[in-house]
């Protein structure tokens, strides 16, 4: 519990510790991975391993931890042939998150985004742009900004160092041109980038 105190909202520590113990989970907190916030895998001895990125704010850490526990519980209940983010996982995730969706745990400004998200949870919270932006407002300050905040025509760098120019907004996403190749790519509005230069 003392480890989780550092990463979770205080009221969530005890019930999440109980969930981890009940399901024999080895929790490992790891350095940031660019492609995922967390993951789950069953171990040969019948126990389970969940890894979570250490750089997540406490609210995203909680959601990510419950997301991974939901994989474990859904596989136990429905078998390993179900789709990883199929209807069984969605239902399980909703049920496990419900006790945490209250103002004693999450700030009031986040709760409407969470309520909307958990009507039909996605495979990654980052694909829900509105919730992702709301959660990122609780991250430490950074020199990075969102694509949707850039002016049309502004140049930016991705985390890999690739250079792009922001183009027009499509229905939900943004069309951007890679400067070095001239190829067009489509970006989610909540992608964090670094401003390179304005026009």
Q: Is 93 in contact with 70 (CB distance < 8 Å)?
A: yes
Q: What is the pLDDT of residue 198?
A: 63
Domain 2-136 and domain 145-197 have a common topology: no
The CATH class, in words, for 2-136 is alpha beta
DSSP letters of 75-135? HHHH-TTS-TTSHHHHHHHHHHHGGG-STTTS-TTTHHHHHHHTTS--SSGGGSHHHHHHH
CATH of domain 145-197: 2.30.30.30
Structure confidence at residue 199 (pLDDT): 54
Determine phi and psi for 28, rounding to 5 degrees.
-125, 125
Quote the pLDDT of residue 102. 96
Of 56, 185, 74, 79, the residue nearest 125 (C-alpha): 56
* pLDDT value of residue 54: 93
Q: What is the pLDDT of residue 130?
A: 86
Q: Where are the domains of the chain?
A: 2-136, 145-197
pLDDT along the chain (199 residues), means of 10: 86 94 92 85 90 94 96 93 94 96 96 95 84 88 83 91 93 93 92 79
pLDDT score recorded for residue 180: 94
Question: How far is 31 from 34, CA to CA, in rounded Å?
Answer: 10
């Amino acid at each position: 519990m003392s480890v989780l105190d550092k990463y979770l909202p205080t009221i969530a520590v005890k019930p999440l510790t109980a969930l981890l113990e009940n399901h024999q989970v080895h929790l490992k907190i790891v350095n940031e991975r660019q492609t995922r916030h967390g993951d789950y895998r069953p171990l040969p001895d019948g126990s389970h391993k969940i890894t979570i990125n250490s750089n997540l704010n406490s609210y995203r850490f909680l959601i990510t931890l419950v997301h991974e526990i939901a994989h474990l519980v859904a596989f136990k209940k429905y078998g390993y042939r179900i789709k990883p983010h199929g209807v069984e996982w969605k239902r399980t995730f909703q049920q496990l998150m419900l006790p945490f969706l209250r103002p004693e745990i999450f700030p009031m400004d986040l709760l409407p985004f969470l309520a909307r998200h958990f009507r039909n949870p996605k495979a990654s919270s980052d694909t829900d742009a509105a919730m992702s932006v709301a959660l990122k407002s609780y991250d430490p300050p950074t020199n990075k900004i969102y694509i949707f905040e850039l002016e049309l025509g502004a140049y930016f760098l991705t985390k890999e160092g690739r250079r792009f120019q922001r183009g027009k907004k499509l229905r939900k996403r943004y069309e951007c041109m890679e400067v070095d190749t001239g190829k067009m790519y489509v970006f989610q509005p909540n992608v964090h980038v670094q401003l390179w230069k304005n026009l």
